Structure formats: C-alpha cells, structure tokens
Structure 1
C-alpha cells in the first residue's frame, strides 16, 4: 500500500520523469506527495584553480552558475506542483536543501512509503562530488525503497526481478509485492548462476510467493554474472522496470553495491526498484 511518496527534485530530465511517475502513482493509490530539492548549492562555487587576475570573472561565473541552478530548481518545483494539481494529487510540502543535498531526503524518507529519484543523474550531471558515496549514504541511512527513474518515461507493464537468493534480494521482492505499485504487471524472475553456490530451486520459491500475491510470473535461470548480464537480459525481454535488492552490511556494502547495483544504476535505461 502506498500512501506517501517522496520525490527528489534536481532540475534535470530525470526530475521531469520523477514528477510524472510520482503523480501518476499517487493518483492511482490516492497517495500524498512531498518534494525535496537535491542539488548541492555549495558545490556550484567550486571552479578549481583560478589564474592570477581572474578573480572577478570567477566570481561572476559562480554567481551565474548559482542563478541558473536556482532557476532550474524553481522551475522543477513549479512543474511538480502543477503536475500534482493536474492529477488532483495532494502535495504536502516542498523541502529545500540548504547544505548537504540529501539530508532532507533522508529525514523525510522515514515517513514516506516510496522515494522516487533519478539516481543516475548524479553520474550524468555531476551535482555531487562522489555519486557512489552519495548512493551508498542514501541506502545505509534507510532511504528505501527507492524508485530510481531513467531519463525517459515508460509505462510499467513488465517487471524483471533480479533474484540472487540472498535475504536482501528476497526482502526487495517482498517490499515490491506489499507496496504493489502496479498491481496488474507481469513479473519475470531471473537468477544468474555465477558459481557452484547457486541454488536454482530458489526461483520456484520466489515465483510461488509472487503467485500467492496474485501476479502472473515466469522465471529464467541464466549462466553468467548479474553485473554484466542483467541490463542486456532486461533489454532482451523488454522489461519496463528492474527490481533489485541490496545489502547495508558494513563489510559487504562496497562489494555488493559497487559490483552490481551501482553498475546497474550507471548504465540503466529503464527504472529500478531498489530495496533491502
């Protein structure tokens, strides 16, 4: 059940998709929305080394960059409000970041069922200095589930679930089924055999669980690594969304997020449902 949706507003094409997706979901579930801006304004003033005598021009450039960014954010906020009005969706409020671009998002996520944000925009538009670290911070601080949108909108009719057999992967499935954001989608579960430790029978258990929630399900067992084969597989079956789990265990976070989830975020051309 979805009753509150948190939306990251960054003034990029991903923001437009986030807004469209959030308001359509909110209308379907009669949910409320909250917008939060996610641009690090302090980073805009960092231009690197300035040649002697060029301080005046550097100051003008910083001011111009800040002005353009603020205008972009305000335009995104206005578009978000208008979209909520058009869909007859309640916008609870807009939170403006003052320093760290994700402090407000982390705080607000506690009281929202779903966070929608263009995670890949952190790589494509560089509004944080270390995207990997920023994403790990969001996950480890409890911002989940996250619907990480792509830069173009596509209706969700077929969902690919990447199931590793881990507890985190199973939790992601459970969170998706309980939220049921798109109740009429078809599910396709894939398990990648990456070594002798794979347990293919877990696919049947996962499929039975999804069927118990009323979904139409099919499964695939694929040899190879999820890190390199997941996106081509999703494209091959024309999936509209990928469901993935992740771990926040301190010793595993870099390995699991770095090798699988982060790699997928960087290359994804379709939305990701990330949970734990």
Structure 2
C-alpha cells in the first residue's frame, strides 16, 4: 500500500513529467506527495573555493551568490510542483533541504513508500549538464523502490517484467505486487533472456517464468504472457521487445557492479536506463 510518495525535483525537463506520474499515482492510491528540492551546498563550496588567504573574502562572496542562485532555482521548482499538485487536488508537502543531493533524498526515502524521479536527475543547479550518478546511488542505497521517469507521460497499462531469477529481480517484483502502484488491471509481459536455446535451456527459462506467473496469479493478476528471448545482449533484447509490444513500463532489478562508469548499475540496467523510452520501476 502506498501512502506517501517522494518526488525529487531538479531543473531537467523530465521533472514535470515525474510530477505528472506522481499525481496520477496519488489519485489512484490516495497517497500524499512530497516535493523535495536539494541545494547542493557541498558542490557550491567546492566550486567557489579559490585557494589562498587573500581570496577568502571573494570566495565567501561567490559562495553566497551561488547559494542564493541555487536556492532561487529550488524555490521555483517547489512552486511549480505546488501549483501542479494543488490544481490536481492532491494532499502535498514541499521540502527544501541543503547538502549532498543523493544523501538528502535517501534520508527522506526512509519515510516514503516510493521515490519518483526523472532518470536524468543531476541536481547541480550551477552545472545542469553534469552527470552526477545520483540516480544510481538512490537505487543502490535507498530503502524504497524507485520509479525512474523519461521525458514523456503515458498511462501505464502494459508492463514488461524482466526477470532473471536474481534476488534484486525478486525484490522488485515483490515491491510492485505489494504496493500496487498501477493496480492489478494490467497486461504483464514476463520476459527472460537466455542465450541457451537448447531444449533444456528453454525448459529452465519456462519453469522460471511459470513460477513468476503463479506468484502473480495468487496476488490477483490475470493478464499474463510469458516470453523467452534468445541470443544477444539482454539490455538490447529487452528494449527491442518493449518497443515491439508497446510496454508502458519496465520492471527490473538493479544489480551492483564494480565498473566505475556504471557506478552501481549492471550493464542491462544501465542500457535500459539510458535508452528506454518507457519509465523503469527498480529496486536493488
């Protein structure tokens, strides 16, 4: 059951779309929305530091100017959120915090059932084009699932459930079932990518998806289809299938890896996060 939804606000173009999704979710489940804007004071301090005793005065002036500018941006984001949510008649709260964005968001996630955020979240109001890996950190360290939004809004009617049997995939599925963000009247496409297309390999995939289907049916889901995808990189195959069936949402578990360029997301999640036109419901 969802009663509180956290919406992380930043200047990217997908933030208004994230607000739209959050509003529709709140209507469906009778939830309260919290709009959160974070001023990255640590980054501002770093950018304004000039070094040397003689520059302390000017550093302080630059810090104050950058702080005021960033707070002004944050306040505008909160005002836009408040206007949209009020017009929709949704109960809501607006919060402005200072600090490291992903740390502040994770702290607030402790008291919410779901995070809604644009997948291009940067939170650097002075460097809006800089990739901060914020979303990957939120998915890895947050206690609640994340709904990562793209640039267009589409009502969620058909969901692609990417399931590989991992603990992350199972947790994501369980969160989705217990929270019911989009209800039960959905078309669910269960997909497993398996390069082993032998009879034994396909039997293993079919058994895995049959277990998922049985679990979903026990929880009242009825429109379920199973698909096994063959050779190819899982991210690419899943994206092709999502586009071919017109899925409005992708459900998958996010895996940790050591590769710095992907930070905390596995290659499949990273590919879908950056290439998918549909939003993603994720859990670590």
- TM-score with structure 2 setting the length: 0.80
CA distance in 2, matches of 1:238, 1:44: 42
CA distance in 1, matches of 2:109, 2:264: 23
CA distance in 1, matches of 2:108, 2:74: 19
Task: Indicate the RMSD between aligned Cα atoms, in angstroms.
Answer: 3.4
Matched, 1:210 2:231: no
CA distance in 1, matches of 2:196, 2:122: 33
Asked which structure has the greater CA Rg, the reply is 2
Partner of 1:234: 242
| 8 Å Cα contact 1:95/1:104 also seen in 2 | no
| 8 Å Cα contact 2:74/2:96 also seen in 1 | no
CA distance in 2, matches of 1:16, 1:255: 26
* 1:240-260 CA distance string (max 9 Å, x none): 000011245x87996972312
CA distance in 2, matches of 1:39, 1:152: 26
CA distance in 2, matches of 1:12, 1:128: 9
| 8 Å Cα contact 1:120/1:265 also seen in 2 | no
Assess, with a 3 A threshold, how the Cα gap between structure 1 residues 230 and 45 changes in structure 2: closer, same or farther.
farther
Unmatched tracts of structure 1, length 5 or more: none
Structure 1 position 147, deviation (Å)? 0.3
CA distance in 2, matches of 1:44, 1:9: 18
* 1:156-212 CA distance string (max 9 Å, x none): 111111111112212211111111111122111110004587831101111121122
| 8 Å Cα contact 1:13/1:152 also seen in 2 | no
Describe the SS at the equivalent of 1:131.
coil
Structure 1 position 96, deviation (Å)? 1.9
| 8 Å Cα contact 1:114/1:146 also seen in 2 | yes
Q: How does 1:1-276 map to 2 (within 5 A)?
A: 1-38=1-38, 40=40, 43=43, 69-91=70-92, 93-122=93-122, 127=128, 131-132=132-133, 134-183=134-183, 184-195=185-196, 199-200=204-205, 201-215=207-221, 216-223=223-230, 224-247=232-255, 257-276=265-284
| 8 Å Cα contact 2:39/2:98 also seen in 1 | no
